[in-house]
Every structure is written in C-alpha cells, then in structure tokens.
Chains A and B, each alone.
Chain A
Amino acid sequence: MHDTRQTERPLEDASAAMPDTSVETKPGLTVKLEGLRAFYGEAEQVKGVDLEFRANEVTAIIGPSGCGKSTLVRCINRMHEEIPGARAQGRVLLDELDVYGPSVDVVAVRRAIGMVFQKPNPFPTMSIYDNVAAGLRLTSRGRGDLRAKVEAALRGAGLWNEVAERLDEPGAGLSGGQQQRLCIARSLAVDPEVILMDEPCSALDPIATLKIEELIDELKQRVTIVIVTHNMQQAARVADRTAFMLGGKLVEIGATQDIFTKPSDPRTEEYVTGKFG
C-alpha cells in the first residue's frame, strides 16, 4: 500500500493512516425475490421470478437485451414504480422484510438498497464533495461529521487519492470512470446494505472498467451486490454467482463458473457461447 499521507490535509489526521479503500467488514443483507412480476402498463416485462441474492456476494444477471434484467433490479429498490404506468407484483424480501409491504416507506427502502446507473450521473450543480454529501443531505442526515463520512465514502469508492486535493471542483469535470466511482461513493455515503448496479461499466473504457471491477470485489465485504451486465467476461470476472434471464423469466442461477462452463440449461449454453444474444 502506498503512502497516502502526502495528499492529506491537516483536517484528516485521524484517518491519515487509513488505506485508500476501507476494508471495513459489515454484513450485507440477503435479497430474495418471490414470484416477482413487473409491468409497464399492460405489458409484462418480468414474468414471475424467484431468485436469491446472497448477503456479501456479487450476483450478476446476464441475458439478451429486453429480457427484463434491468426492470428486475429496479423492482428491488422500488425504482420501477417511478415510471408512469409501471407496477410490480410478488414479494421482494430484504432479509425478512417485504419491501412491498403496506407499511413500508419507499424512501427507507432506497436508503438501504443503493443504486448505480448505466451512465455516470453526478449532480451537475454540485462539487465533488457536495455530490457525495448529497446522499446524506437529501436524506436529512447531513449533520454530524459530514466531512469524515464523505472521505470514508470516497475512500470506499477508491477515489479519494484522485480527488482529495480538488473536492471543491465540479463533479462533472471528472473523467467518465471517475464520475462513475463518484456515483458509487455517493451511494456508499448513505451506508446501504445492498447496491444494485445496472450495467455500471457500459459507458466506460476498459481501464476504468477494470477499476470498477476491482472496487466491486472490495465492496462485497460490506454490501450485497447485484450487477446487471451485457458483458459476459465481466460477469465471469466479478460475480460469485450468475443468473441467466430470458424473455422475462429466470432460466437458471448458479456459481459463475458453472454457468459459464457446465450450464444445466441448453439455452444458457447457447447464450454464453455466443450462439444468440
């Protein structure tokens, strides 16, 4: 580990010895889908899926375009219902709790289940610092030692060393890969138990992609990760388990290695060997 102290400001003395990424271990939560169905108006996009995302594991969802994988993850933190006319049926259990339960606060669900989108989207009016703090401020938790929390989140996203000297600069001025890690830091700051990633690297170059993948590997020690990807090599690199979806249904889920080397369903084999998709 290289010495980070030169880049420190006096303010962060206490944390000066911390490595760039904090390897704090914390249990994530298991997410279980039971008979999940999702609709856009009358069109059924996810047609009854039962699936378990184990705590502190990385689960990849692969499948051809339009198979419902993005819709499926958007149901987990109830972002699906933000689209006019969209609704979901079935149960999504966060540990024991059904996030679609009648007394459940949507806002609390989204604080526990963070999300990183396809395109890096830092808030354009805000500095790097404010972008990370935004998650806390927007959820009325901006009090206390905000600065320490921002630093911890930036370290968690492996971005601290690159931005420590220019926290006041606009977040939109960073490179694409840095912006995406800023977005990851932003969701880490609210301290979620689960992070959903919807094709987080599809807008990034290979080197930036590699950084995010390394980061995912570290993050799973504190959160459960669900990653939707078009890139099968990426699934093979980062995921402990991989799920294959087709036409709104789950075809199979298994250890990543098994899915890519000895899938039990012929359709999975056709897909991972590039026969369609």
Chain B
Amino acid sequence: MSSAGSSSDLLARFDVSPSRRRKDRIARTGVLAATVLALVPLVLIVYYLLRRGLGSWSTTFFTTDPTGNTFFGGSSIGGIKSAILGTIEIVAIASAISVPIGIGVAVWLVEYGKGSWFANTVRFFVDVLTGVPSIVFGLFVYIVLIVGTGSTYAGYKGSIALALLMLPVVIRSAEVILLLVPGALRESALALGAPRWRVIFSIVLPTALPGMVTGVLLAVARAAGETAPLLFTAASTHLTTFNPGQFMNSLPVQIYDDVISATPAVEHRAWGAALTLVTMILLLNLIARLISRRSRLA
C-alpha cells in the first residue's frame, strides 16, 4: 500500500498495550469501589428510617400534639403535629426574611457592584458565613434577642437564626445563576433604551427565575433540617401554635428531645418524626430538580 509498511505494522502501532489495559481496569475498579462505599451509609440510613419510622406513622401520629407523657407508651404520648406545623412556620418566616434580602444582595453583586472592592468584600464575608457552624447562628440570636433583650424563646427568633443560616446559601446560589444570564441579553435590552432597573426586572430576573427557585428550595431544605439554631431560640414545646411570638416546636428539636428520652415508645416517635422530616426535604429537593430541569440556562 504505502511506504509506511504493511497493514499488520499499522495494527500493532494502534494496539492498546497490555499494561495500559491493566491500569485502566485498576482505575475503573477503584472509582467504582469508592462509589459503592459511599452508597452504603446512604442506603442504610434510608433502610433504617423506613423500617423503624414507617411503623409509627398513623393518622393520630400526624394529627395530635405530643402530650409530654412519656411513661405509658402507646397513643398516650401523642404525635408530631406541632412539630410539623412549627417547622413549616419557622422555615416560612425564615424564607420570607432571607429570600428577598439574599436575592437583593445577589442582584447588587452581579448587576451593580461587579468588580468593586466593596463587592469583593461582601462576597468574602458571604463565603465566611457559609462556613459558620449553624449553632453559632443560634448562639448569636440567643445572645442578641434573648439575653440582650431579657426576654425568652420565640418561634420568630428561631426563624431569624435560620434566616441568617440561609442567607449566604441564597446569595451564592442566586449570584451563580445571575452570572449565567448571558451578558448579551442585558446589552440588547440596554441598547433598546431600557433603564437598568427594567432590564433587571423584565429580562434578567425572569431568565434566572427557575435557577433561583431551585437555589432557594435547597436553602429551605437545608434550614428545615437544622436543630442547633432552634434549640435555644425557638425552644421546644408540645402545643401547636400559630403565634410566632411563642415557643414553637419543630421536627429537628422534637427528634432531639425524643431521642434523649429513655422510653422506647418515645424513641420510636423520633424515628417516625425523622422519616417525616426526610420525606419533606426529599420532596423539596424533587421539586427543586423539576424546576431546574425547566431552566433555560443550565
């Protein structure tokens, strides 16, 4: 054929060498093993949650408040109604505080402050906040709003602690999404003679909306599972309340209380509450995924 040699020479030149095959197999096995290893605890958690938790689920479990009676077991210990409603209320108020502020900060960082030293400083502190342990937020609210004002625990104080925890997550996720909005869209809207605020409200935010909703839902999911910031801000109680100025029960705190209780029936309730919490967070995550799939940016 050509001067390069016969076709069998060519085959040999392009053949995968045995040592490379071997390395490939070892590397593949290694990463597969790591994946399986990581799956083990995940599967076990879900398995135990279902096995232990599902048994305590019943209508009365969801529709009655805990009674505080831990001695007699059975239905006399009550359910987790106040904890479910409390978690929803506390997280809803926390979101109402942190979402508008967080998105506002992100809009400022991306659309106005870009590149300025102040924006960089803000971004740095937001990153620091992301790494702050959640109990520190609880402690901060405890010192400022409870010790500082000489008052006592309240649901809204728990909300503020969770809002502080959510804020950096909301800011960072919204910022990332806003940065994904193509600059060409802003340019063409500006070139039409649109004022900047209109460009942000009519073009940038609608384009970024699905992604931002996803980020917010993930922040909500994270906040809903936090115990530490609520322990000494919203405290724990038995009764359902819709007054954020009162002590408010929540799922994580109820789980905490129940687990450290000595009675098996109450411990059993903790499993049911944990399964409830995980289910709620899972649903939020699913919704977030569905919405992000519809995003035009990703």
Contact = CB atoms under 8 A, between A and B. Distances in A.
Interface residues of A, number: 28
Contacts of A187: 191-192
Contacts of B115: 84
Interface in A31-90: 77, 79, 82, 84
Nearest to B296: A124
A137 B201 CA distance: 12
B189 A138 contact: yes
A260 interface: no
Interface residues of B, number: 21
Contacts of B189: 123, 134, 138
A17 to B, nearest CB: 30
B112 to A, nearest CB: 11
A276 to B, nearest CB: 30
B182 A121 contact: yes
A109 to B, nearest CB: 8
Contact of A119 (B184, B203, B206, B296): B184
B192 A125 contact: no
Contact of A190 (B182, B192, B202): B192
B180 to A, nearest CB: 12
B296 A107 contact: no
A106 to B, nearest CB: 9
Contacts of A183: 188
B187 interface: yes
B191 A121 contact: no
A82 B187 contact: yes
A113 to B, nearest CB: 8
B191 A107 contact: no
Given A84-B114, A117-B184, A77 B203 contact: no
A99 to B, nearest CB: 12
Contacts of A79: 187, 190-191
B199 to A, nearest CB: 7
A79 B296 CA distance: 26
A139 B192 CA distance: 8
A110 interface: yes
B185 interface: yes
Contact of A134 (B114, B192, B207): B192
Nearest to A115: B191
B276 to A, nearest CB: 37
B195 A121 contact: no
Interface in B138-191: 182, 184-185, 187-191
Interface of A: 77, 79, 82, 84, 107-112, 114-115, 117, 119, 121, 123-125, 134-135, 137-139, 172, 183, 186-187, 190
Given A139-B192, A187-B192, A190-B193, 6 more contacts: A79-B191, A109-B193, A110-B191, A125-B296, A134-B189, A135-B194
